[in-house]
Amino acid sequence: MAEIIVHEGDLPATVTFGDSVAVDTETMGLRLWRDRLCLVQLSAGDGVCHLVQIKPDTPAPILSDLMADPNVEKLFHYARFDVAALLHRFGVVTAPVYCTKIASRLCRTNTDAHGLRALCKDLLGVDISKQMQTSDWGADTLTPEQMDYAANDVLYLHRLRQTLDALLDREGRTDLARSCFGFVPHRAALDVAGWADEDIFSH
């Protein structure tokens, strides 16, 4: 059973995550300019999940500094959305980044199942529920079901990275993956700037 700790507004200064932290976000919807950021989940991969409830129009300087810390790798599943949400809300460029979805797409070309639930089940033998995905994350008080769901989005990312790194190495795509991870903050900036639906590299 995971330990879940809820914080209001920001992380406390006493919380540290070492050289890598798993991160996820929950918003009111999927439109950056319409749907506010409500929750940021973080874990060091140690079975402890920190949930930060984001207050509207209030900065979160400790969280923002962590996202920008060049010495701490941030692990995401589908980093593009979360990095864009953090950029839009706090103006912070999150880096360096590792994205398990990108890694999976590059090394697991035998399948089209690259969602977090599929990765956890296929690579770790863990079945996580996505039932609370569309619940009201803007509520003042989170339900136990919401907290468990939010925690599951970060608790397994360190283990997934380890497994995916081995597959990337086996397929000779580690350098390509790292280049893709490095581009994520720029892709997120394009999303925030209005190019979310355009491929600027197309003809």
Long-range contacts at 24-30 (CB < 8 A, ≥ 24 apart): 24/76, 24/77, 24/82, 24/150, 24/153, 24/154, 25/81, 25/82, 25/85, 25/86, 26/137, 26/150, 27/85, 27/137, 28/137, 28/138, 30/81
pLDDT (0 to 100) of residue 118: 97
Measured distance CA(89)–CA(96) in Å, rounded: 18
CA distance 164 to 174: 10
pLDDT for 159 equals 98
Question: What Rg do the C-alpha atoms of the chain give, in angstroms?
Answer: 16
**For residue 2, what pLDDT is reported?**
86
pLDDT at res. 130: 73
**Helix (H/G/I), strand (E/B), else coil: 4:** strand
Topology of the domain comprising 3-193? Nucleotidyltransferase; domain 5 (3.30.420)
Question: What ranges do the domains of the chain cover?
Answer: 3-193
pTM for the predicted model, two decimal places: 0.96
Residue 96, preceding bond cis, omega within 30 degrees? Answer: yes
Q: List the beta strands (DSSP E) in 54-180.
A: 73-76, 97-99
As averages over each run of 10 residues, the pLDDT of the chain (203 residues) reads: 94 97 97 96 97 96 98 98 98 98 98 97 92 84 95 97 98 98 98 94 90
